[in-house]
């Protein structure tokens, strides 16, 4: 188990992107993670695609590929970026192309995308560097769509 520093410690910044070891701990049991994390509503996938200029999608922090598979099944070409090699391997086993690395440091190699998506993962991204990287890789009129599950 990984714990965040307490408020009185030297590193009291509770911003999730400063504590990547927590995010990268999810890969301990990838099958369980994938089995227990719910998919996203079809209406959400449709709304993102309706607002995007095309179907080339970059999934930031794709994990096991839950939302990547949903976008793929909706007709998109999806590339994932994932820092945890265990999560990336699981996503690859489901047919998702994944490159290992943190989004902020990832090299797009001149590629651009119609949508940059991030399902329940954008909070692990540095807000300034992540927004700048998204702006660099998005095509004109491209969309950044960060979304989360909200318990009811």
Q: Is residue 152 part of a domain?
A: no
74 lies in a domain?
yes
Residue 53 falls inside a structural domain: yes
CATH number of the domain bearing residue 49: 3.40.50.150
For residue 27, being part of any structural domain is answered with yes
Mean pLDDT value of segment 25-39 = 80
Q: Examine the pLDDT at 7 and tell me if it is beyond 70.
A: no
Domain count for the chain, please give it. Answer: 1
Strand order, beta sheet including 113-119? 97-100, 77-82, 56-60, 113-119, 138-147
| pLDDT tens digits, 86-106 | 999 999 999 999 999 999 999
Does 124 reside within a domain?
yes
Structural domain span for residue 35:
16-147
Average pLDDT, the chain: 87
The pLDDT, as a whole number, for residue 33 is 83
User: Is position 89 within any domain?
Assistant: yes
Residue 10 lies in a domain: no
Buried b (16+ CB within 10 A) or exposed e, 18-32: ebbeebbebbeebee
In a domain, 5, yes or no: no
Residue 27: what are its φ and ψ, rounded to 5°? -75, 0
Question: Quick one: pLDDT band at residue 83, thresholds 50, 70, 90?
Answer: very high
Report the distance separating Cα 14 and Cα 91, nearest Å.
29
Confidence category of residue 21, pLDDT binned at 50, 70, 90: low
pLDDT-above-70 percentage for the chain: 82
């Amino acid at each position: 188990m990984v714990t965040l520093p307490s408020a009185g410690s030297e590193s009291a910044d509770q911003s999730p992107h400063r504590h990547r070891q927590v995010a990268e701990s999810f890969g301990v049991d990838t099958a369980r993670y994938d089995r227990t994390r719910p998919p996203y509503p079809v209406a959400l996938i449709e709304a993102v695609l309706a607002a995007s200029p095309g179907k080339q999608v970059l999934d930031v922090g794709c994990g096991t590929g839950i939302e990547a598979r949903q976008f793929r099944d909706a007709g998109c070409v999806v590339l994932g970026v994932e820092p945890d090699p265990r999560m990336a391997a699981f996503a690859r086993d489901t047919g998702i192309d994944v490159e290992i690395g943190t989004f902020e440091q990832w090299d797009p190699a001149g590629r651009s995308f119609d949508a940059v998506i991030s399902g329940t993962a954008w909070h692990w991204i540095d807000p300034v560097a992540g927004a700048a990287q998204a702006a660099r890789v998005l095509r004109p009129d491209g969309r950044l769509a960060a979304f989360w599950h909200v318990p009811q």
